[in-house]
Amino acid sequence: HNDSFDYPVKPLDIDWTEDHFPGLEKGSVPTVLDIGCGFGGLTMALAPLLPSQIVLGMEIRAKVTEYVRLRIVAARKEQEGRYKNASVLRTNSMKFLPNFFGRSSLEKLFFCFPDPHFKRKNHPRRIVSERLLSEYAYVLKPSVGRLYCITDVKELHEWHVEKCERHPLFRRVEDEIAEIDPCVQAMKIETEESKKVARAGGEKYYAVFERISIDQAT
């Protein structure tokens, strides 16, 4: 994963409709990110579930990204008018997020079955961390923005909860409220990894956090 990526200097430098969302109005920008989208199951499920949002999967592996891209092209052809609000981008989302997305421009961030990086010395490579949570807070809309995490690794789930609860700009959404969010159902069943875990009879742990506004944070 050490190859270099092209990335914009600032979000305004990108024309998202040109390469990613040709069927959408000019000036449209992503509002929902599926970070580390893998084979794209959730990205594909969210696009029709959230028709007024613009869903972007982000993936670091070139071949996997290309697979998702072709999957979206095929789905667009097959079902005209649908999936024009879905796309995928190959990048290292741990490095360039604020280059791609403006402040308060996003409504939802998904972290589904992220790589656990078990060893303590590799914990800084985890995709949810104190430093990155500040970037996530920056790109998420205050009050409406939500961050979703799901994993089959209990220790990683506890890490997600601890890091997010400790961050001044995130607050956990109560389980009863999270449970009725259709996106929670989607992330529990639609990602390739969630299907694998279900087949193996494994446990899934999830948590949802809201991006609170500064006035609420005091």
Cα–Cα distance measured from residue 3 to residue 47, given in angstroms and rounded to the nearest whole number: 30
Strands (E), the chain: 32-35, 55-59, 86-90, 108-112, 146-151, 170-172, 205-211
Dig out the tokens for 211 from the structure: 């991006």
* Nearest approach, Cβ of residue 4 and ligand SAM (Å): 14
Q: Which is nearer to ligand SAM, 92 or 105 (CB)?
A: 92
Residues near ligand SAM (CB under 6 A) are 36-38, 58-61, 64, 92-94, 112-115, 191-194
Q: Which is nearer to ligand SAM, 36 or 145 (CB)?
A: 36
* Nearest approach, Cβ of residue 42 and ligand SAM (Å): 6
Q: Which is nearer to ligand SAM, 96 or 171 (CB)?
A: 96
Is 115 in the active site?
Answer: yes
* Nearest approach, Cβ of residue 149 and ligand SAM (Å): 11
* Nearest approach, Cβ of residue 212 and ligand SAM (Å): 26
Cα 146 → chain centroid: 10
- In sequence order, the 6+-apart residues with CB closer than 8 A to the CB of 151 are 113, 114, 116, 157, 160, 204, 205, 206
Q: Which is nearer to ligand SAM, 46 or 64 (CB)?
A: 64
- In sequence order, the 6+-apart residues with CB closer than 8 A to the CB of 186 are 42, 45, 46, 49
What letter does residue 117 receive in the DSSP assignment?
-
What letter does residue 9 receive in the DSSP assignment?
S
* Nearest approach, Cβ of residue 75 and ligand SAM (Å): 17
Cα–Cα distance measured from residue 214 to residue 218, given in angstroms and rounded to the nearest whole number: 7
Q: Which is nearer to ligand SAM, 43 or 212 (CB)?
A: 43
Which of 115, 175, 181, 215 is catalytic? The answer is 115
Strands (E), 62-172: 86-90, 108-112, 146-151, 170-172
Residues labelled as active-site residues: 115
